[in-house]
Structure 1
Amino acid sequence: MSHVRIAYDTFQKTAPAAQAALLAMGKTADESGLDKEIVELVKLRVSQINNCAFCLQIHLNVSRKLGIAQEKLDLVATWPEAGIFSERECAALAWAEALTNLAGRGVSDATYEAVRKYFSESELVFLSTAIATINAWNRLGAAFRFAPPIPRKAAASKAA
């Protein structure tokens, strides 16, 4: 079993400016008018790729509050095969994977052209900002093994 290396609260207290900068960066995508469901699906997928339980739990909680279909939450890890995501969602998820898996390959022109079919230049800037931000959070959460926040309902049943 993994153990927390540095608690999220400790990160907040130690580097409040870093936390504020990441929150501000994330807020730009939230306030851009970009579809919040797409942004959350992207954050979930990136957090899965980066093995960040902390961010994955946070964005599952947010996704549920937004009313994203449970089937999408269950199948986002296998979105290309699931057959339940819109073309726009698929384009966003493919873009998220390309930006997350940059090492040694970069982002191809074909991948860029595919996402531009569904997102305006402005939308793509904010989508990319959301992806960059969740990647930064994932690197902190995974490195320090921040404990995932347990939803109240689950915490209550665990205590029983």
Structure 2
Amino acid sequence: MEPRLDYFSAAPEVVRAMMAMQRSVDNLSLERGLVELVKIRASQLNGCAYCIHMHTTDARKHGESEMRLYLLSAWRESPLYSKRERAALEWTETLTLIAQTQVPDDAYALLNELFSAQEQVELTLAITTINAWNRFAVGFRAVHPV
């Protein structure tokens, strides 16, 4: 695969705005491991190898187990994820695939049960941000390190 465009060089002011949004995500009150799982799952759904590589590497550095990373794409079938993680992953999937899901009430009900209002907004920002990065990386064919 050949990269199409170096978006960092092509529009540095746009990337600075994305980096500012990313800094906000990096400073959320949510658990770091939960945020990494969300980033990985959205990136899996979007087929973003660059971001999957980055965030699985980051998750390992922060203590995430290999087994949980291997099973993330099948999280519904595995007992390795907490109820809170499941709610976050469901919210991630429903927002990432919003055109198909239309954000069903049951997904929100579970989120609302396990996350405060502030955490719901923070989680939604994390999901929004990784989806935006995925669109840059997939659209311009960013290549992960080999």
TM-score scaled by structure 1?
A: 0.87
Is there any run of 5+ residues in structure 1 with no aligned partner, and where? 151-160
Structure 1 segments, 4+ long, off by >6 Å, are none
Are 2:133 and 1:137 aligned?
Answer: yes
Is there any run of 5+ residues in structure 2 with no aligned partner, and where? none
Letter of the 2:4 counterpart: R
2:77 maps to 81
Query: Cα deviations across residues 15-47 of structure 1 (Å, max 9, x unaligned)?
Result: 112212112112212212110100000000000
Alignment of 1:36-115 (within 5 A): 36-115=32-111
Alignment of 1:113-152 (within 5 A): 113-150=109-146
Distance 2:28 2:3 in 1: 34
Deviation of the 1:96 alpha carbon: 0.1
Higher alpha-carbon deviation: 12-21 or 42-51: 12-21
Distance 1:130 1:21 in 2: 15
The answer to whether the Cα contact below 8 Å between 1:28 and 1:126 also exists between their aligned partners in 2 is: no
Percent identical pairs in the alignment equals 40
Equivalenced residues, count: 146
TM-score scaled by structure 2?
A: 0.95
Cα RMSD (Å): 1.1
Deviation of the 1:104 alpha carbon: 4.1
Distance 1:56 1:48 in 2: 7
